Structure 1
Amino acid sequence: MHISRRQLIEGSLCGAAAIALKGYAQPSRWQPGTVRHLLPAVSHDRLLLKASFGRPLAAPPTLRAGPRAATGVRLDSSAEFFSFDLAGLEPEHTYELVLEDAAGAPLCDPWPITMFPGPDAAPDRFRLLVYTCAGGHPATVNSDTDSPYFVSIANRRKMLLTGLSYEPDAMIAVGDHVYWDLRSPVGSVMLGNAPEARRLVGAFTRNLPVPGTDNERKLKRVVTPQISDLYGTDFRSTPVYFVQDDHDYFENDEATEEMVTFPPDDFMLRLARATQRLYYPEFLPDANRPAGLPSSGAADRPAGVSESFGTLRFGRLLEIMMYDCRRYMTLTGPVGGFVPETVEEWLMQRMAAEQTRHVVNLPSTPVGWSAGKWGEWYPDLLQPNGELGTARPKYLWQPGWNRQHNRLLQAASAMSGVPLFLSGDLHALGEGRIMRYGDLDFRGNPVVTVLTGPISSGPRAWPSAWRGTPPRTPTGIELEAGLDPLEKNGFSIIDFTEDRVEGQMFNWKMGEPVENLDNLQPFHRFTAARGA
């Protein structure tokens, strides 16, 4: 059974979703029933689905794909969240998924999903929807004006539905799926410790677990509007990947004499793990990613998955390596790093192997640009003269972070393919080529870096408002920009073919006509080709 990606997407658009994308009403075609959200991950032979329901279920539901079935694993105390794990599936096969209650009655309409090609297959094209910073609770407001701090859920959904209309083979959300800082000296005042947040949720109890306590109820009040209500069931036929970044640990990366927020303390880690467990899939195993990497093989997770380090493998065409730069960042001076040594070894090995036409790095923290924040690869800080520089040092910044950055960029530039880095975090759209950094010369194969675009950022979240500077190139970097960092909302569509990478970028901003979201078009395109 083969169904085109266009048919899958059209089948996904119904009701408000169709109105948001096409600007007019059309009859609803797919009924969600009691399902509140569906987010699937696939490989060539396995499917992992996270689902939530509008009411508690008396018994675990069942997910069917052809002759195979998986009983849902309950994830929460009230039996509203379940995961489903189906193995032994056929590469490139389109399955009709059926979700049933314990009595065999459908909980929603069936829907299709297509498995990825096997590792030795030779697909000729892959299309990716990628973006960052989609989180933000609708109750968060600017205290002085009482206006929304983030782009509304409805307008975020319009951007995502436009992205889906381009029929991506997968989606990657690069960090900051949740904004609810609890203790960061600045961020918490506007987010998790704001008066409206206290009224809505209350305070977490840091010496209690999250599952099975009142912390679980509070977590749902924080996260459900930011993930379940944003994604709903729109991505049920599109494989998804969620990379965590600083705000997913319920803090901003900050270091002052008052507080150092990272690496995460035990409760931050509990919140991040609980959010992932309930709402979005972990990273499925890959034969070339060591099973013993940190965050892999936890007893409370599906077999073999990783929480922090993932692989998107699409035949012999593409391998994307995704890595969380916050959970394991170290404060050990010149030998520190954003990822552990074993993870860096994995990244290096995959870049050296080049078993696919394209090998892509996707760190949660971007390369090539800086806004002077603490948890960056670069030592630059906003100086009294309004420029980025290093004369006034960045408190507790670790030189080992930069050394790890240099090793990764050197390995990428040494590949025969396009040394591409996709990332988020900086609340901007941008793309360019890193030609040099300090003594490092990348001109033989310049490192292509892309800021993929933020979905939810409001006027006071832009670096120029929050930090006093837009994203800029750090000291010592020679970068040829195709698009200087642009502080606007948006996302990117990236196409991979045998010898080329082609990107399209889309933008909008709060204050511009909402009607523009009904017909978003690419405003910037870029291309990078493999060398001879």
Structure 2
Amino acid sequence: MYNRRTILRGGGVAGLGGVLLGGVSWSRAAAAETKAVRAILPSATHDTLAVKVLLERPPSEAPILTIDGRAVAARQMDQDGYAWGFVQDGLKGGTSHELTLSDEFGGSLRTPWRLKTLPPIDSTPEHFRVLFFTCAGGDEGGKPYGYLSVADRQALLDRALSFKPDLAVANGDHIYWDLWTALKYRRDPATRAATEEQYRKIAWINEDIAFDSDTNRKSLNTVIGRQIASIYEDRFASVPLVFVTDDHDYFENDNAGPWGYTFPPRPFIFGLQQRTAAMAYPFALGRPDLGDPYKSGTVEAVKIGKLLEIDLFDCRRGWSIGQDARILFPEAEAWLTGRLRTSQAKQLIHAPSNPFGWSAGKLGEWYADGPSDTSSFQNDKGYWQQGWFDQHQRLAKALSAQKERAAVSISGDMHASSIASISRSADLDLSANAIQAILPGTIGTGTPGFPSTVRGVPPFHAAALEIKDIAKMEERNGFSIVDVFPDRIEVRQFRWRPPEPVEAIATLQPSDTYTIRRTS
């Protein structure tokens, strides 16, 4: 509940993102009208609109959001009052609505804008356009690892939005601020020391004190402000968003060692991810009931009438090891394979956080492939579990077994762009309906952050696969525009990377196009 005590506490803290971030350059509305608002992150279903609003400073009273002139109840999403949520159901599908946002005195916080519900659940639209990308996070001052500048990331997103997508999928790694794996276990001592120096300067999250301490709240707010709010601002105000969670969103990398495994997440880092999601992820409106909210939080379905279903899944929280090792919870796997059998959608896309088709030699992949140098502590592939690939096989079999739909997987995590077709996986013949495996492109990766520089090897196809490249793999920034029709899916990939001039992004043309047709 928002009360005077909360107001006083919030009033004493720095603005969201901290003083080091600098000014905010809004993409759609005038800066004079939005100086108090840091980000607007919407989501939608066929009958519901939802909006997250991040404010620069906690207000004295809740902000007011209206839809078609009617106020929507405000939900305070954090302890201090930086983040507010609004959810309105009972709306008509496929309908555009006018939204306004004002302060408690009625002063406008943004020019009115429009947001549309998804098509009615029983309709079959002739066309729907989806924007896919991954790895938008990373701190702009992120030495020693390096990330693309915020301005460059905004330019990529603005070019993507110029194609007027109906929905956007941001698949994983919205945050890069690893704790144990960056400060204790990975890389050399000098790099770890440099990382600690950076963290202490910008946002020091202290696991040895109370989770809800002032230090930890302020630090998490700063990370959210710098890595999510500063990039998205209000540019997606009229485009529903879906966020998928990946490893770095739990404030760790996918690693293991004598100390154990980073996943499933320990309580502290799970709390960080949950707090970040509450504040700065769009509302997840399509979670199924798997009997346990912890497990249900790893999957989400977006349904576009009877035209398209996108099933998205987090491949980190459900880790297990041993005889029955898995990457996904059994309930999540059963739900995903069940949807492949029962969904009435003309097209169905899997959107896992962990990519099908490629490896970068990392521990937490579906595949056993890894570095040949086993003497290096950086090589933790010996902790990989056979059961993870076994689960991959079950998912691949179910995806390929669809009788009329093409088998399509558009992944997250991998810092690259590519399109390929998987016809065999170990002893599994997929040739009757080969899996169309797509790496959609990364938004935030800087030059030091691509696999070939971080791990010494570019992304490669796993040895267990028979796979044909359709659009060659490139370690470049970019995104994919996916146009869905009843009889086909058309994919356009856009690629860019420094030292190409940032001005070129504004007129960026497709590097590759590919049409995926229904099998019948």
- Common fold by TM > 0.5: yes
C-alpha separation in 2, matches of 1:150 and 1:109:
32
C-alpha separation in 2, matches of 1:71 and 1:42:
16
Alpha carbons of structure 1 residues 191 and 132: separation in structure 2 relative to 1, 3 Å: farther
What residue is the counterpart of 1:361 in the other structure? Answer: 350
More helix by share: 2
C-alpha separation in 2, matches of 1:437 and 1:73:
47
Q: Read off the aligned partner of 1:197 and give its amino acid letter.
A: Y
Secondary structure at the counterpart of residue 460 of structure 1: helix
The alignment covers a number of residue pairs equal to 487
Secondary structure at the counterpart of residue 17 of structure 1: coil
C-alpha separation in 1, matches of 2:192 and 2:275:
23
What residue is the counterpart of 1:405 in the other structure? Answer: 392
Secondary structure at the counterpart of residue 107 of structure 1: strand
Between 1:515-524 and 1:188-197, the stretch displaced more is 188-197
Report matched runs for 1:382-461 at 5 Å. Answer: 382-384=371-373, 394-415=381-402, 416-461=404-449
What residue is the counterpart of 2:3 in the other structure? Answer: none
What residue is the counterpart of 1:327 in the other structure? Answer: 317
Alpha carbons of structure 1 residues 187 and 520: separation in structure 2 relative to 1, 3 Å: farther
Correspondence 1:309 to 2:299: yes
Query: Is this contact kept in 1: 2:27–2:233, CA < 8 A?
Result: no
C-alpha separation in 1, matches of 2:101 and 2:203:
32
C-alpha separation in 2, matches of 1:29 and 1:199:
28
Query: Is this contact kept in 1: 2:27–2:234, CA < 8 A?
Result: no
Q: 1:413-437 CA distances to partner (integer Å, 9 max, x unpaired)?
A: 1112011001121101011110011
What residue is the counterpart of 1:282 in the other structure? Answer: 283
Q: Read off the aligned partner of 2:169 and give its amino acid letter.
A: I
Q: Read off the aligned partner of 2:131 and give its amino acid letter.
A: L
Query: Is this contact kept in 2: 1:181–1:191, CA < 8 A?
Result: no
Note the C-alpha offset of 1:243: 0.4
Query: Is this contact kept in 2: 1:182–1:192, CA < 8 A?
Result: no
Alpha carbons of structure 1 residues 46 and 460: separation in structure 2 relative to 1, 3 Å: same
Pick the aligned partner of 1:493 from 481, 489, 497. 481
Secondary structure at the counterpart of residue 406 of structure 1: helix
Query: Is this contact kept in 1: 2:52–2:283, CA < 8 A?
Result: no
Q: 1:225-257 CA distances to partner (integer Å, 9 max, x unpaired)?
A: 110010000000000001010000111101122
Note the C-alpha offset of 1:56: 1.9
Report matched runs for 1:203-282 at 5 Å. Answer: 203-210=205-212, 213-282=214-283
Query: Is this contact kept in 2: 1:92–1:114, CA < 8 A?
Result: yes
Note the C-alpha offset of 1:53: 1.4
Pick the aligned partner of 2:167 from 159, 165, 170. 170
Alpha carbons of structure 1 residues 439 and 531: separation in structure 2 relative to 1, 3 Å: same
C-alpha separation in 2, matches of 1:336 and 1:192:
36
Structure 2 unaligned runs (5+)?
1-23
C-alpha separation in 2, matches of 1:352 and 1:187:
44
Note the C-alpha offset of 1:34: 2.1
C-alpha separation in 2, matches of 1:216 and 1:429:
36
What residue is the counterpart of 1:518 in the other structure? Answer: 506
What residue is the counterpart of 1:77 in the other structure? Answer: 79
Secondary structure at the counterpart of residue 175 of structure 2: coil
Correspondence 1:95 to 2:97: yes
Report matched runs for 1:136-215 at 5 Å. Answer: 136-142=138-144, 149-184=146-181, 185-186=185-186, 189=191, 193-210=195-212, 213-215=214-216
Q: 1:97-151 CA distances to partner (integer Å, 9 max, x unpaired)?
A: 1123233333221110010012111111111111101101112123xxxxx8111
Secondary structure at the counterpart of residue 351 of structure 2: strand
What residue is the counterpart of 1:472 in the other structure? Answer: 460
What residue is the counterpart of 2:14 in the other structure? Answer: none
Q: 1:56-109 CA distances to partner (integer Å, 9 max, x unpaired)?
A: 211112221126432221223332211111111111111101123233333221
Alpha carbons of structure 1 residues 256 and 393: separation in structure 2 relative to 1, 3 Å: closer
Alpha carbons of structure 1 residues 68 and 90: separation in structure 2 relative to 1, 3 Å: farther
Note the C-alpha offset of 1:509: 1.0
What residue is the counterpart of 1:120 in the other structure? Answer: 122
Secondary structure at the counterpart of residue 352 of structure 1: helix
Query: Is this contact kept in 2: 1:33–1:108, CA < 8 A?
Result: no
Alpha carbons of structure 1 residues 393 and 249: separation in structure 2 relative to 1, 3 Å: closer
Alpha carbons of structure 1 residues 121 and 206: separation in structure 2 relative to 1, 3 Å: farther
Note the C-alpha offset of 1:294: 3.8
Secondary structure at the counterpart of residue 140 of structure 2: coil
Between 1:79-88 and 1:228-237, the stretch displaced more is 79-88
Q: Read off the aligned partner of 2:470 and give its amino acid letter.
A: G
Report matched runs for 1:1-80 at 5 Å. Answer: 17=27, 31-66=33-68, 68-80=70-82
Query: Is this contact kept in 1: 2:242–2:282, CA < 8 A?
Result: yes
Query: Is this contact kept in 2: 1:427–1:453, CA < 8 A?
Result: yes
C-alpha separation in 2, matches of 1:293 and 1:121:
31
Note the C-alpha offset of 1:515: 2.1
Query: Is this contact kept in 2: 1:187–1:251, CA < 8 A?
Result: no
Structure 1 unaligned runs (5+)?
1-13, 19-26, 143-147, 297-305, 386-391
Alpha carbons of structure 1 residues 117 and 293: separation in structure 2 relative to 1, 3 Å: farther
Note the C-alpha offset of 1:194: 3.2
Alpha carbons of structure 1 residues 187 and 111: separation in structure 2 relative to 1, 3 Å: farther
C-alpha separation in 1, matches of 2:246 and 2:338:
24
Secondary structure at the counterpart of residue 505 of structure 2: helix
Query: Is this contact kept in 1: 2:205–2:220, CA < 8 A?
Result: no
Q: 1:143-184 CA distances to partner (integer Å, 9 max, x unpaired)?
A: xxxxx8111000000000000000100000110001111110
What residue is the counterpart of 1:9 in the other structure? Answer: none
Note the C-alpha offset of 1:384: 4.5
Correspondence 1:318 to 2:308: yes
C-alpha separation in 2, matches of 1:492 and 1:191:
37
C-alpha separation in 2, matches of 1:236 and 1:400:
41
Between 1:165-174 and 1:514-523, the stretch displaced more is 514-523
Q: 1:258-307 CA distances to partner (integer Å, 9 max, x unpaired)?
A: 45211111111001001111111231036xx33635437xxxxxxxxx64
Alpha carbons of structure 1 residues 493 and 190: separation in structure 2 relative to 1, 3 Å: farther
Note the C-alpha offset of 1:393: 8.9
Between 1:231-240 and 1:45-54, the stretch displaced more is 45-54
Question: Which TM-score applies when normalising by structure 1?
Answer: 0.87
Secondary structure at the counterpart of residue 525 of structure 1: strand
Q: Read off the aligned partner of 2:514 and give its amino acid letter.
A: F
Alpha carbons of structure 1 residues 149 and 414: separation in structure 2 relative to 1, 3 Å: same
C-alpha separation in 1, matches of 2:261 and 2:357:
25
Note the C-alpha offset of 1:207: 4.6
Alpha carbons of structure 1 residues 203 and 489: separation in structure 2 relative to 1, 3 Å: same
Q: 1:185-237 CA distances to partner (integer Å, 9 max, x unpaired)?
A: 22694699431221222342345224x64211110112211100100000000
C-alpha separation in 2, matches of 1:49 and 1:28:
20
